[in-house]
């Protein structure tokens, strides 16, 4: 969430950033924010003055009674009674204005970093890096959903029977490979200095608001209505919310965590060949990395996260590319996002497998996540997160790119984790 003071003092910069995002009605909403904030501040001033006058009169009443002047005291008491009614009305008005202001701020996305390219759709994203050789597959090579059926390692129909579409059942070597990838990702992350934690898979409404999933993506989250809890769409939500309402010290930075969780997304409106098989699921596994950084170091940290994921993909021997997302494709809460994509040779297209983002102070403002700077003043921290990695499309890429006439050859780095070299 953007800070009101920043919006008020940098209106043109905010509007320019929102224009890069193609955000509709930007000027109207920003003007509403500024006018509502002015009204809120003037109401606060009026309330403060009313309370101050009431307190002053209360002291005078006490003195008058003490001096034996009850008539004068009673006259003042009538005035204090009127002031109490006024302060009550002002308090109610202030609460209403604060709520209106909060609702307006929740509608406004983050301001993109200067390096974010302009554009409307994913076609306008900028390729910043590409590595790996796209393999030439043998005749009769299959997409992963056909390979899953051929080798009986993933059963989409059984998942559909148990729950519905988008909830696959992993079997035999498919389940072992899934577990191997989770352990491998966690080992790589902890070796890089990330602290492994386990977190709840359901969160409350405040947690969803803290990281920006609510109210923006409410329709994409599974909601347990009786308890008003939400199934997590990513470990980013519970991990980052560990630091909600926390005041850090500068010496606490950097804070680095990694967590494996299942993730749940309704993906409403997703259909067609591009979401077939593992390409888009309602439940999937993911290993996440989350950082809390000093503002002066967050973009250096972002570069480090990108390099870290590069190293993993190099070891998996998968052809990949990195995209800098354009203003029209970047997420609601992000200031800068890099997407990693693996090339699926059997599908002849790129599959997104990771997003690495710097949110700057956007989440921290919602979370009230601050630190004491060297001058002793309270300042908002920067938050970052990335997939390291999401399993479904990594697995799809491995199955498709590593297939041979004899079976699917497992990358060397995973063999110690899964205990076999081939799926056949």
Question: Tens digits of per-residue pLDDT, 152-191?
Answer: 999 999 999 999 999 999 999 999 999 999 999 999 999 9
pLDDT at 135 over 80: yes
Q: What is the mean pLDDT of the chain?
A: 95
Asked if 195 and 256 touch (Cβ cutoff 8 Å), the reply is yes
CA gap 142, 147 in Å, rounded? 6
- Tokens 């803290």 appear where? 210
Classify 415 in phi/psi space as left (phi over 0), alpha (psi -120 to 50) or beta.
alpha
Domains of the chain with bracketed CATH: 4-106 (1.10.287.40), 122-423 (3.30.930.10)
Q: How confident is the model at residue 270 (pLDDT cuts 50, 70, 90)?
A: low
The two three-digit tokens of residue 76, written as one number: 């003042």
Residue 236: half-sphere exposure toward Cβ, Cα within 13 Å: 27
What is the rounded distance in angstroms from the CA atom of residue 122 to the CA atom of residue 129? 16
User: What mean pLDDT is predicted for residues 194-220?
Assistant: 94
Report whether pLDDT(112) > 60: yes
Annotated binding-site residue numbers for ATP: 265-267, 352-355
pLDDT of amino acid 317:
95
pLDDT recorded at residue 229: 97
Q: Would you say residue 51 has pLDDT above 80?
A: yes
Position 219 confidence tier, pLDDT thresholds 50, 70, 90: confident
Residue list, annotated binding site: 234, 265-267, 288, 352-355, 385
pLDDT of 94 above 60: yes
Question: Which positions make up the binding site for L-serine?
Answer: 234, 265, 288, 385
Residue keyed to tokens 């081939």:
422
């Amino acid at each position: 969430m953007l800070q009101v003071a920043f919006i008020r003092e940098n209106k043109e910069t905010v509007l320019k950033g929102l224009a890069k995002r193609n955000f509709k009605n930007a000027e109207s909403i920003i003007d509403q924010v500024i006018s509502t904030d002015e009204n809120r501040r003037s109401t606060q001033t009026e309330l403060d003055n009313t309370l101050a006058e009431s307190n002053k009169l209360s002291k005078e009443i006490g003195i008058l009674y003490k001096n034996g002047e009850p008539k004068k005291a009673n006259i003042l008491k009538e005035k204090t009674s009127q002031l109490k009614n006024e302060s009550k009305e002002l308090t109610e008005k202030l609460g209403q204005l604060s709520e209106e202001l909060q609702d307006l701020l929740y509608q406004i996305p983050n301001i993109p970093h200067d390096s974010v390219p302009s554009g409307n759709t994913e076609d306008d994203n900028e390729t910043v890096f590409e590595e790996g050789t796209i393999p030439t597959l043998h005749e009769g090579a299959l997409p992963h959903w056909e390979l899953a059926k051929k080798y009986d390692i993933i059963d989409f129909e059984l998942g559909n029977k148990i729950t519905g579409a988008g909830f696959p059942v992993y079997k035999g070597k498919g389940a072992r490979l899934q577990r191997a990838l989770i352990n491998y990702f966690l080992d790589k992350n902890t070796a890089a200095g990330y602290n492994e934690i386990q977190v709840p898979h359901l969160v409350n409404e405040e947690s969803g608001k803290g990281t920006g999933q609510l109210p923006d993506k409410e329709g994409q989250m599974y909601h347990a209505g009786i308890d008003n809890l939400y199934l997590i769409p990513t470990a980013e939500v519970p991990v980052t919310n560990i630091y909600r309402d926390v005041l850090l010290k500068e010496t606490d930075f950097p804070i680095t965590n990694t967590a494996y969780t299942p993730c749940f997304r309704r993906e409403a409106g997703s259909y067609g060949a591009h979401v077939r098989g593992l390409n888009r699921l309602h439940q999937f596994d993911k290993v996440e990395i989350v950082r809390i950084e000093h503002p002066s170091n967050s973009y250096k940290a972002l570069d480090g996260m990108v390099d870290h994921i590069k190293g993993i993909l190099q070891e998996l021997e998968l052809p990949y590319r990195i995209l800098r997302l354009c203003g029209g494709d970047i997420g609601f809460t992000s200031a800068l996002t890099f997407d990693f994509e693996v090339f699926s040779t059997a599908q002849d297209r790129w599959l997104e497998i990771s997003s690495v983002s710097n949110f700057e102070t956007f989440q921290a403002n919602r979370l009230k996540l601050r630190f004491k700077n060297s001058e002793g003043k309270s300042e908002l921290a920067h938050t970052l997160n990335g997939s390291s990695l999401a399993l479904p499309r990594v697995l799809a890429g491995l199955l498709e790119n590593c297939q041979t006439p004899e079976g699917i050859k497992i990358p060397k780095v995973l063999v110690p984790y899964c205990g076999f070299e081939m799926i056949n």
